[in-house]
A = this chain, B = another copy of it.
């Protein structure tokens, strides 16, 4: 289980990482192991619809048990499968880096983080920084 304090640490560290690196403003969400919302923040200056992208990245990851990189590999190999998955989950998936599984010390998936705003790879790097700062492990 992720505490709210951990979720807020993840988000604040991820957004601060983007500022330090000079990236575009980031937005970040943390979902629990059941795909439900725990916390979200949209960086100042980010586009208004960034919540939906951040959540979709995290939602697809936790629902399928696959990080964004694995989803992107599957989309490259079999685009129609990931397109169908998007329909299956009501449009709430986004198969690119930035959706990151969160694991506890035992390796169990306890949620997912979704970051959006800069390049997908930078989004994933920001998520991993946030997850590490909360003492947990991320699978991008």
Residues of A within 8 A of B (CB): 3-4, 7-8, 15, 32-44, 46-49, 51-53, 56, 62-66, 75-76, 78-96, 109
Distance in angstroms between the alpha carbons of A63 and B54 in the assembled complex: 13
Take A63-B52, A94-B85, A94-B88 as given contacts and tell me if A42 and B42 are in contact as well, using a CB distance cutoff of 8 Å.
no
Residues of B within 8 A of A80 (CB): 75-76, 79, 82-83, 95
B82 lies within 8 A of A82 (CB): no
Instruction: Name which residue of chain B comes closest to A75, CB basis.
Output: B80
A88 lies within 8 A of B56 (CB): yes
Chain B nearest Cβ from A101, distance in angstroms:
10
Instruction: Name which residue of chain B comes closest to A89, CB basis.
Output: B52
In order of increasing CB-CB distance, the 7 nearest A-B pairs are A34-B34, A49-B63, A87-B91, A47-B65, A37-B51, A36-B48, A86-B87
A49 lies within 8 A of B35 (CB): yes
A63 lies within 8 A of B75 (CB): no
Chain B nearest Cβ from A87, distance in angstroms:
3
Pick from B46, B62, B82, B86: contact of A49, CB under 8 Å? B62
Residues of B within 8 A of A47 (CB): 62-66, 109
